[in-house]
């Protein structure tokens, strides 16, 4: 028996990637500008750090059946982020009301791409490195139908063999059927596939339910106790990948 949650790195030939907070993020500077306009003074960098710290709480809510999509889910997400801001930002601010006001200003149904459009630093280089090793690469994301357009607009579409959007296929992580669709789309074997994402309840639980290995993104060590491998970013993931057996690497 191997270590619970261990990934057989030398046996993999397919990598699934979440999109949000994996290679792109919200435009935190835009969120901060709207927040300041509403009376909450914070910076984009403060929001970015608070967002990462909020992921375990969001994951716990997902484990209880909450969706990641829609205006109410976005409002809950924003409130969790605001709760993690430094005290001097949030003193005197009613966080639920502020999150609701922010959501009203920022949420556009079917247009996540208007806000989730910031390319995370170093991710293109890491994805290109993984691609050069010869792996199949698929995006498996909870989104609102705009994910494909978004990945195309940031210039990443050519890096992937398929883009699987929950709203398009009808199944949302952690439902294992979204991973089954991805496996079937690229004719991949679950036992030779690993999924990497930022939310344990959606990405790790969902992938495992489909028989797919899982890795959790944890850039600031906000998840101290989880039963799966963690990486800080895609560059660290790339460093763990030797290249799939039986498939030549690109030179």
DSSP line for 57-117: HHHHHHHTT--S-SHHHHHHHHHHHHHTS-HHHHTT--HHHHHHHHHHHH--TT-GGGTS-
Run of H or E residues at 136? strand 136-141
The per-residue pLDDT for 251 is: 38
Which token pair is 198?
Answer: 């930022």
pLDDT at 71: 56
| pLDDT score for 69 | 55
Instruction: Name residues whose C-beta falls within 8 Å of residue 131's C-beta, 6 or more positions apart in sequence.
Output: 137, 159, 250
What is the Cα–Cα distance from 157 to 151, expressed in whole angstroms? 5
pLDDT of residue 2: 40
Pairing of strands 24-25, 118-119: antiparallel
Specify the pLDDT at position 64: 74
Q: What is the pTM of this model?
A: 0.91
Domain map (residue ranges) of the chain: 9-24+116-240, 27-111
Per-residue confidence (pLDDT) for residue 66, from 0 to 100: 59
Q: Where are the beta strands (DSSP E) in the chain?
A: 14-17, 24-25, 118-119, 136-141, 162-165, 193-197, 213-217, 230-231
Q: Which of 234, 235, 236 is nearest to 18 (CA)?
A: 234
Cβ neighbours around 153 below 10 Å, total: 12
pLDDT tens for the chain, 251 residues: list them: 345 578 999 999 999 999 999 999 999 999 999 999 998 999 999 999 999 999 998 888 877 765 655 556 788 889 999 999 998 887 777 888 999 999 999 988 888 888 999 999 999 999 999 999 999 999 999 998 899 999 999 999 999 999 999 999 999 999 999 999 999 999 999 999 999 999 999 999 999 999 999 999 999 999 988 999 999 999 999 999 998 886 655 53
Question: Which CATH entry fits the domain spanning 9-24+116-240: 1.10.760.10, 3.30.2420.10, 3.40.50.1000, 3.90.1150.10?
Answer: 3.40.50.1000
Q: Which two tokens stand for residue 22?
A: 């994996």
- What tokens does 157 get? 């579409």
Question: Which phi and psi angles does 133 have, rounded to 5°?
Answer: -80, -10
Give pLDDT, residue 61.
83
> Pick from 216, 222, 201: which is nearest to 66 by CA?
201
């Amino acid at each position: 028996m191997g270590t619970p949650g261990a990934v057989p790195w030398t046996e993999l030939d397919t990598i699934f990637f979440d999109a949000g907070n994996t290679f792109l993020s919200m435009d935190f500077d835009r969120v901060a500008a709207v927040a300041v306009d509403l009376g909450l003074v914070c910076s984009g960098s403060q929001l970015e750090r608070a967002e990462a710290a909020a992921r375990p709480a969001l994951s716990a809510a997902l484990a209880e059946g909450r969706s990641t999509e829609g205006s109410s889910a976005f409002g809950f997400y924003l409130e969790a982020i605001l709760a993690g801001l430094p005290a001097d930002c949030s003193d005197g601010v009613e966080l639920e009301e502020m999150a609701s006001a922010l959501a009203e200003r920022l949420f556009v149904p079917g247009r996540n791409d208007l806000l989730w459009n910031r390319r995370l630093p170093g991710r293109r280089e890491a994805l290109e490195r993984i691609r050069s090793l010869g792996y199949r690469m698929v995006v498996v994301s909870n989104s609102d139908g705009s994910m494909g357009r978004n990945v195309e607009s940031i210039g990443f579409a050519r890096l992937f063999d398929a883009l699987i959007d929950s709203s398009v296929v009808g199944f949302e992580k952690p439902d294992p059927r979204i991973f089954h669709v991805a496996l079937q789309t690229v004719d991949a074997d679950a036992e030779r596939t690993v999924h990497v994402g930022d939310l344990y309840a959606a990405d790790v639980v969902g992938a495992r339910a489909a028989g797919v290995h899982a890795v959790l993104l944890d850039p600031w060590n906000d998840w101290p106790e989880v039963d799966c491998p963690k990486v800080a970013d895609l560059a660290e993931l790339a460093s763990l990948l030797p290249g799939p057996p039986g498939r030549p690497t690109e030179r």
